[in-house]
Chains A and B, each alone.
Chain A
Amino acid sequence: MTMQPAGGALLSETRPPKRSGEPAADDRFLRLSEREEGEGPARLYPLASPTWPSKALRGLLGLLAPARSACGLCGRGFAPSRTSLAGLPEELPRSWSDSVCGSCRSSIPWILRIQCQVCGRPDSCGDCCRRTSAGFIRSRSAVRYTLEMRQLLARYKYRGEEALQPWLADMLLPAYAALAAELRLADRLTGRLSDRLDPDARKGKEPFDLVTSVPVSRQRLAERGFNQAERLAASLAVRAGLTARPLLERKEERGKMSAKTRRERLIAAEGLFEAAPEAAGILRLLAARDPERRRPLRLLVVDDIYTTGGTMDHCALALQRCSPVPIDLYGLTWARA
């Protein structure tokens, strides 16, 4: 056992002694923010600083190593040049595959083949047969809602890791592209002859006129700070060259949907959504912009999860009710439960 005498340097009093009497708090709060630029953070003990030979050596080695970046989803470092692109949907932008590491990529259960043409479920579907009235025509989803995806979405939605948002929004693109391709094909088959021959039409104007999103209640918005569906819709619109506008309002909060059974959800969703006051005007303007159009207006409703389809259905019905012009509604969600 050795006991060194205190060198003294560490025994320094860091703060002025406590003032007695009337406490004054005003100068404490800004102490942090007024930290000078070069000054390091407070520490219990000094930071280890590498000595110069090892620093130089590390710098040299860094030149030889492949470029590394932090994964946008999990934050761990990885070398983008070393991971393969196999198995990824090809509509994903290059920036996405450059910033998501291999293990995160392999954990994503993409929906590449669907079974139910209505709701886009990758396995056989009982819900769509049970439904009596459907407000929307088709819905598609990007990924299956597995445990990993649930955790990923929870990090964004509940924990508020908004840095995840661009990467989640990119993941919508393959599903969107598939839906758009289906519609373009349908347009070509049913369109007028001149349309069918027109090369511009074949290459494809985007088949949707507007992107909108499932709303959250005012209270939830204040608490969370953002509406995940609206953010996804806005990002998708930018990437696909469309316009996004919120058209719906959620009347009140009746508990989180994720804590309910199928029946409870369907009941809870009844009358929950209402068109925003300006929605009818926006739709009328949109319809008037292109009088040549033969088909109804096409709207894409974006949400984060599709579970029973109740939310999507009621949003679609609310829009149908308010619309002064005929509209067709399609759905796109990030995950399919």
Chain B
Amino acid sequence: MNWGSAADFFAMGGYGLYVWGSYAVTAVCIAIELVSLARRRRAAGGPS
């Protein structure tokens, strides 16, 4: 294990903003893609 505590994990050695900024945006983008796919599916008609 690399991290002494949860606080260390979130701080990422001072680079928390950059690391979590990257992964957060990735998660958001994937979520947006999946949600828009679901909506498009519903608009095309019928359940998946």
A, B assembled together: no
A interface vs B, CB < 8 Å? none
